[in-house]
Amino acid sequence: MHIKEYIDFLKYCLNEEAGIPKCVYEIKWHSLLKFAKTQAIVGVYFEGIKKLGNISSNKPKEKDVLEWLCISMQIEKRNKQLFIKTSDISSKFQNEGFDNCILKGQGNAIMYPNSYSRMSGDIDIWLSKHIEYECGKSCKLSATRKFVFNYVHKYFNNIKYSYQHVDFPIYKNTKIEVHYTPLYVNNPWINRRLQKWFECQKYTQMSHKIEFQNGGSTIEFNVPTNEFNCIYQLCHIQHHYFDEGIGLRQFIDYYYVLKNTINDTNNHNVDWNKQFCYFGLRKIAGAVMYVMAEVLGLEEKYLLVKPDELRGKVLVEEVICGGNFGQEHKFKHYSDYKKYFAKIVRNMKVAWLYPSEALWEPWFRTYHFFWRIKHR
């Protein structure tokens, strides 16, 4: 694969003011499509192809354009359906006594210049009982989890639980994950800080409503604020880096989070370096800012901390080799037993770069295994 050409063209796709790069005249369009599929960013690349116009040479052939167009239309159709489902499930939980907020997913899609170009995935919804705000304070995670468990059990008796969410399969072709906490980190002390912060943030995030025009109708649901996303989605990238793998789609999501953040006057006085240090994110933040600048071409004014070239280059290799959520990693196809040890070996290779998360990961995974047994 000609990765450099693909990355150069991706920068062009993301930057609306960029001129046509030289790589366009060398790219093999069918091979680029294969790469775009592994990274789940076909729609983003197609936005760039539509900008090309009548280039002098190496113009995509009709069959190439039709192949890209067909997939992009499928992505657009699914996005329209998912916006409706997202709004419906949010209203359903609200009517059932749960304040809620949509994490990532369609909340990220609305930040894109074309909200239908993002390849959609699951619906992740964060719930909190109305009673928490009526009594003037937030419940602890264990209490919130109990509320959600009891509710889900009314519909599904044998359902899969995890430390942060539970499946809620009411739609045939759309996975819904109901969260009692947005996520966790492996270091137990840092995780305790993070969970306390999530508790404090509940009311703000679950009352941050957006309206969106979707095919002539107005839909609405709550999404996190930009400041929350800067921390939460960075945690999400770090979590998947050590757990399953991370791909370009998640970095493009964060790219648009950062572009929205710089224009938000509420965030002008935030000390991001201090914030990231408090949540144990300073090292991964530097690596992610390197990816933002070098791979996605994000301007310096949008970067929250100084890029870390050393960690950034290692992260870029992981992203390119692993594909979307690490689907290209061999260990993803191992049995659970083999995967357990394969992950440890893989994470130990980067322990010198991220000692806290890497060294605590086996401990948390073991704890999580017994936690799931207890809560079956």
Higher-pLDDT residue of 134 and 115 is: 115
Torsion of CA 14, 19, 23, 28, to 10 degrees: 60
Least confident of 53-67, 91-105, 126-140, 362-376: 126-140
pLDDT at 291 over 60: yes
Kindly give the interhelix angle for 309-322 and 282-290, rounded to the nearest 10 degrees.
Answer: 70
pLDDT at 136 over 60: no
The pLDDT value recorded for residue 266 is 61
Higher-pLDDT residue of 149 and 322 is: 149
pLDDT at 366 over 70: yes
The pLDDT value recorded for residue 369 is 74
The two structure tokens encoding residue 23: 């790589």
Task: Find residue 160's DSSP bridge partners.
Answer: none
The pLDDT value recorded for residue 169 is 87
Percentage of residues in the chain having pLDDT higher than 90: 51
Q: Where is mean pLDDT largest: 12-16, 114-118, 129-133, 151-155?
A: 114-118
The pLDDT value recorded for residue 93 is 92
Query: What letter represents residue 36's amino acid?
Result: A
370 to 143, 233, 335, 365, 376: CA distances (angstroms): 20, 27, 18, 9, 10
Q: For the purposes of burial, counting CB atoms within 10 Å of the CB of 158, is it exposed (0-12), middle (13-18) or buried (19 or more)?
A: exposed
Q: Are 143 and 113 in contact (CB under 8 A)?
A: no
Q: Are 353 and 310 in contact (CB under 8 A)?
A: yes
The string of pLDDT tens digits covering residues 228-240 is: 999 999 999 998 8
The string of pLDDT tens digits covering residues 20-40 is: 888 888 888 889 999 999 999
pLDDT at 2 over 90: no
The string of pLDDT tens digits covering residues 338-349 is: 666 677 777 777
Neighbouring C-alpha atoms within 13 Å toward the C-beta of 329:
23
The pLDDT value recorded for residue 196 is 93
- Classify residue 324 by its DSSP letter: G
The two structure tokens encoding residue 221: 């649901």
Task: Find residue 310's DSSP bridge partners.
Answer: none
Pairing relationship of beta strands 123-129 and 176-179 according to DSSP bridges: parallel
What value does the mean pLDDT of the chain take? 86
Residue located via tokens 């095919």 = 215
Q: Which has the closest alpha carbon to 45: 13, 79, 78, 8?
A: 13
The pLDDT value recorded for residue 250 is 95
The pLDDT value recorded for residue 327 is 57
CA 265 and chain centroid, separation: 24
* Whole-prediction pTM: 0.91
Q: For the purposes of burial, counting CB atoms within 10 Å of the CB of 167, is it exposed (0-12), middle (13-18) or buried (19 or more)?
A: middle
Q: Which has the closest alpha carbon to 225: 208, 211, 210?
A: 208
Higher-pLDDT residue of 88 and 65 is: 88
The pLDDT value recorded for residue 337 is 57
pLDDT at 223 over 70: yes
Q: Are 125 and 101 in contact (CB under 8 A)?
A: yes
The pLDDT value recorded for residue 135 is 43
Least confident of 14-28, 165-179, 250-264, 325-339: 325-339
